[in-house]
Amino acid sequence: MDEVQFECMAFDNLCKYLSEKYPDRFAAWILGQPPMGAVKVLKTELSMNRFALIQSPSCLNG
């Protein structure tokens, strides 16, 4: 595993932890404003092409 893949995994794990532990705050951070309703965490997987949905500059360099 190269350094870029490791950084992406660490970023994914951190986002997963924060979204599960603090869903309202995480949603507000992502949206740039407080959510309009209750936040519910769904235990689903992103597609393999997750970077089409969420782009992290450090993950796109590799």
pLDDT, position 32: 94
- Looking at residue 44, its pLDDT comes to 77
Q: Is the pLDDT of residue 58 over 70?
A: no
Domain extents in the chain? 3-60
Alpha-carbon distances, residue 56 vs 7, 40, 53, 60 (angstroms): 10, 24, 10, 7
Please report the pLDDT score of residue 2 as a whole number: 66
What does the pLDDT look like over 5-57, one tens digit per residue?
667 777 788 888 999 999 999 999 999 999 999 888 887 766 655 555 555 55
